Amino acid sequence: MNDGTDNIKTHTAARFAAVRARIAAAELRYARTPGTVTLVAVSKTQPVERIAAAITTGQRDFGESYLQEALPKLAALADAGITWHFTGVLQANKTLAVAHSFAWVHGIDRLKIAERLSAQRPGHLPALNVCIQVNVGREPQKAGVEPARLPDLARAVAALPRLRLRGLMTLPPASDDFATQRRHFRALREAFAALNEQGLALDTLSMGMSQDLEAAIAEGATLVRVGTALFGARPGPA
Ligand SMILES: *Cc1c(COP(=O)(O)O)cnc(C)c1O
């Protein structure tokens, strides 16, 4: 009867252990303080049962990218003590639900979206944690602010009352080459350091996914967003 569930649990536990071991090995290798890289499990397209299995391994930070798909999962797991991260592209007509339901938003790249989130964040919740997405590869098809426009946007977002600007996020151009991966992550780290020199007190570098988390940790990632390596390949284009 329980074979399916038990299988999912065993599988999930093994995959989560493997990714946590990769993170720990990278922390050690690149002289990062052990335990300072947060793992966000990106559970987009995954059913509630998979998330529940991940919870039994101790995982509490989860990322979702598609609001319509996410909301029923958030409702089903409302009592599980999860910190939900919105990792998708955020359109203006989705900000209300995100402001009510998530603890973090990783993809801020326009002031208008940030202003809406701040205005819509309910008073009984803590300020919404946000990261500004930077298009380090300057890819025209990708979301993210151009590096040159980052300082102005960061100052404006940091001034919004119901948001807490925590740091920067990037989705770099896909590459199998470690040096290339590092170069993009280094650009984000340098932008982060420059903002902190200007007094912004950022503490989060959200960078690194299944394919490149080691390069990200080498360059100072404090939070990696991992999907495929934890849950397997996603069905369909995502
Ligand atoms: C899907 C997604 C991830 C996870 O990517 P994997 O390659 O599956 O680890 C991370 N960050 C964002 C913004 C995503 O959309």
Read off the pLDDT of residues 47-91 as tens digits, 9 standing for 90 and up.
999 999 999 999 999 999 999 999 999 999 999 999 999 999 999
| Ligand 1 center to 151 CA (angstroms) | 25
Closest ligand 1 atom to residue 230 Cα is 9
Residue 12 lies in a domain: yes
Closest ligand 1 atom to residue 87 Cα is 13
Residue 18 lies in a domain: yes
Q: Is the CB of 71 under 6 A from ligand 1?
A: no
Residue 11 lies in a domain: yes
Global confidence as pTM: 0.96
Task: Name beta bridge partners: 62.
Answer: 41, 84
| Ligand 1 center to 110 CA (angstroms) | 21
Read off the pLDDT of residues 185-237 as tens digits, 9 standing for 90 and up.
999 999 999 999 999 999 999 999 999 999 999 999 999 999 999 999 987 65
| Ligand 1 center to 38 CA (angstroms) | 15
| Ligand 1 center to 227 CA (angstroms) | 6
> What domain range is 173 assigned to?
3-230
Residue 237 lies in a domain: no
Residue 19 tokens read as 């990714």
CATH number of the domain where residue 104 is located: 3.20.20.10
Read off the pLDDT of residues 143-194 as tens digits, 9 standing for 90 and up.
999 999 999 999 999 999 999 999 999 999 999 999 999 999 999 999 999 9
Residue 238 lies in a domain: no
Residue 71 lies in a domain: yes
Domain count, the chain: 1
Residue 236 lies in a domain: no
Q: Is the CB of 228 under 6 A from ligand 1?
A: yes
